[in-house]
Amino acid sequence: MAEFFEKQAELYVETRPSYPPELFEFIASKTPNHDLAWDVGTGSGQAALSLAKIYKNVIGTDASAEQLAHAHKLPNIRYQHTTSIMTIDELEHNIAPQGTVDVVTVAQALHWFDLPTFYQQVNWALRRPHGVLAVWCYTEPQVNDSVDTVFWRLYSNSACFWAPARKMVDDEYKSLDFPFKPVEGLDHTGPVKFEAKKLMDLDMYLTYIRSWSAYQTAREKGVELLSEEVIEDFRRAWGEDGSSTQFVRYPVHLRIGRVGN
């Protein structure tokens, strides 16, 4: 999927929500060591930036060089362009030695992965027995009843343009095969709920929609999801001709588990 996301890398940086600090504090509370975090599918480094405030070193990897070109920089973050599926030798050379990673994170990307191969890599890389895998997705934005009514009409019309993997997100990762042990303090692996927020005007909100993979697919097929009629519906629902700013809320759904012995 790397070449697909290259088309909208700048839109991702501009419009995607920042994840709440509480999410990373919760994850960090479940890892006894805070030496090394590996953020897989890091994109523009949104999660890596927050991890770097807690963990000594962070490695952010992505198969999209274009996404990495827009990534947030900090001295303790190293970004690495990788193939979609790494061998164990590549993993050891590019990421870290076996059993030395304290936490592996995946933000809004796991549904694109080859899960058996990825889980094999996670089991190889994580420090035993308390190394943690934390993966999360966020579901569709919420503004208010008027805007959300227009949004869900648009979202329903876009259904045929989403890749099948998107169904895992719509399901809030509940049906995700997640063969890891509950972390301390939990008797399950989630989902655990959080909320991300971003202050937007209507133009930014519409730019977020244009960053969808489904929007790009529809355009390639000659379909404009954001027609003038739809934009006008959004403008009326938003109020003040779309110039006001409003908090857009994104429900976040975390699956978390440890590697065990």
Question: Residue 1: is its pLDDT beyond 60?
Answer: no
Report how far apart, in Å, the C-alpha atoms of 73 and of each of 83, 235, 249, 254 are.
Answer: 21, 36, 26, 25
Q: In this structure, how many other beta carbons lie within 10 angstroms of the beta carbon of residue 172?
A: 20
Please tell me the total number of residues recorded for the chain in this structure: 261
Question: Residue 184: is its pLDDT beyond 90?
Answer: yes
110-135 burial by CB neighbour count: b if 16+ within 10 A, else e?
Answer: bbbbeeeebbebbbbbbbeebbbbbb
Q: How far apart are CA 21 and CA 155, in angstroms?
A: 29
Q: Decide if 186 contacts 27 (C-beta within 8 A).
A: no
Phi/psi for 130 (5° steps) reads -110, 10
Residue 229, strand partner residues: none
Helix (H, G, I), strand (E, B) or coil at 235: helix
Q: Rounded mean pLDDT of 113-118? A: 93
pLDDT at 4: 46
Per CATH, the number for 2-142+163-197+251-258 is 3.40.50.150
At residue 14 the predicted structure's pLDDT band, cuts being 50, 70 and 90, is low
* Amino acid at position 204, single letter: M
pTM reported for the whole predicted model: 0.89
Q: How far apart are CA 215 and CA 18, in angstroms?
A: 21
Report how far apart, in Å, the C-alpha atoms of 38 and of each of 26, 167, 244 are.
Answer: 16, 26, 38
Q: Decide if 190 contacts 134 (C-beta within 8 A).
A: no
Higher pLDDT, 70 or 137: 137
Residue 57, strand partner residues: 36
User: Considering the chain, what percentage of its residues have pLDDT values greater than 90?
Assistant: 81
Taking only the tens place, the pLDDT of each residue in 121-140 is 999 999 999 999 999 999 99
Residue 197, strand partner residues: 249
- CA 133 to chain centroid, in Å, comes to 14
Q: Which of 187, 190, 189, 180 is nearest to 260 (CA)?
A: 180
Question: Residue 220: is its pLDDT beyond 90?
Answer: yes
pLDDT at 17: 76
For the chain, the domains span: 2-142+163-197+251-258
Question: Residue 16: is its pLDDT beyond 80?
Answer: no
Taking only the tens place, the pLDDT of each residue in 28-54 is 999 999 999 999 999 989 999 999 999
